[in-house]
């Protein structure tokens, strides 16, 4: 018996379909437009910078003297040029000690040694006009400093100090400091108390310390003193 061949029709169904990837439409690049500024803005910035510079200059030149409390305002008003260094008197927090240009500084004071001569009264008036007074000597160190200064070649022979007597032997300092006999620096034989010699000078050719000489109140050089300006 012949074998029968059976044919069967088989259909295979696709189990998966190709994955479809959806690509988003190309994003448009954002165009950057330069930001526009008002045309007057650069001028405003330049003006502000100029004002800042002016303010800084004002602070640097003026402010140091504006907060120096307790200083002689007349001295500051009379002089525009100053010489300063970093040395300050004990107990001061500020960092600079200043004297008018051309003056000499010693410790907390400024000294002006004149190149011209005038009477004692005119000398005191001249010192007062500069915001100072004829020098008042309070210590051996100050006396030694001034004695060395008057011995310089350019100095005059006699320099007035702020000591005088209305009545002979009754010596008074111009700032009302009490006269201390033990802290006086008279030349040998002085004061000799003649009635017509009521003013006192530092004599250039005398010894380094004992060089006070009482004289007639006529024409001599002078030493002015003022408190240094602390800034």
pTM above 0.85, yes or no: no
Per residue in 16-36, pLDDT (tens digit) is 444 455 555 555 555 555 566
Q: Is-contact 223 160, C-beta < 8 A?
A: yes
Residue 169 pLDDT: 76
Q: Concatenated DSSP letters for 178-196? A: PP-GGG--BPTT-----TT
Q: Is-contact 212 184, C-beta < 8 A?
A: yes
Q: Is-contact 201 213, C-beta < 8 A?
A: yes
Q: Is-contact 161 200, C-beta < 8 A?
A: yes
49/43 Cα distance (integer angstroms): 10
Domain boundaries, the chain: 64-230
- Hey, which CATH number is domain 64-230, 3.10.100.10, 3.40.250.10, 3.40.50.1980, 2.40.50.100? 3.10.100.10
When mean pLDDT is compared across 14-23, 126-135, 222-231, the lowest value belongs to 14-23
Q: Count the residues in the chain.
A: 231
């Amino acid at each position: 018996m012949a074998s029968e061949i059976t044919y069967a029709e088989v259909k295979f169904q696709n189990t998966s379909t190709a994955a479809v990837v959806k690509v988003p439409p190309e994003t448009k690049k954002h165009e950057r437009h330069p930001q526009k500024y008002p045309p007057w803005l650069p001028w405003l910035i330049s003006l502000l910078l100029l004002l800042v510079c002016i303010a800084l200059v004002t602070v640097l030149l003026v402010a140091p003297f504006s907060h120096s409390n307790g200083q002689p305002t007349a001295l500051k008003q009379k002089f525009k040029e100053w010489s300063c260094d970093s040395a300050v008197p004990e107990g001061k927090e500020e960092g600079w000690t200043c004297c008018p240009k051309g003056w000499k500084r010693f410790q907390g004071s400024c000294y002006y040694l004149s190149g011209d001569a005038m009477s004692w009264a005119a000398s005191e008036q001249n010192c007062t006009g500069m915001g100072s007074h004829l020098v008042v000597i309070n210590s051996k160190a100050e006396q030694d400093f001034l004695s060395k200064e008057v011995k310089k070649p350019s100095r005059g022979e006699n320099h007035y100090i702020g000591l005088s007597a209305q009545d002979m032997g009754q010596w008074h300092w111009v700032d009302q400091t009490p006269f201390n006999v033990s802290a006086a620096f008279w030349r040998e034989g002085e004061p000799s108390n003649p009635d017509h010699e009521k003013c006192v000078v530092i004599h250039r050719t005398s010894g380094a310390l004992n060089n006070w000489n009482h004289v007639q109140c006529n024409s001599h050089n002078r030493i002015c003193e003022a408190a240094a300006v602390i800034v």
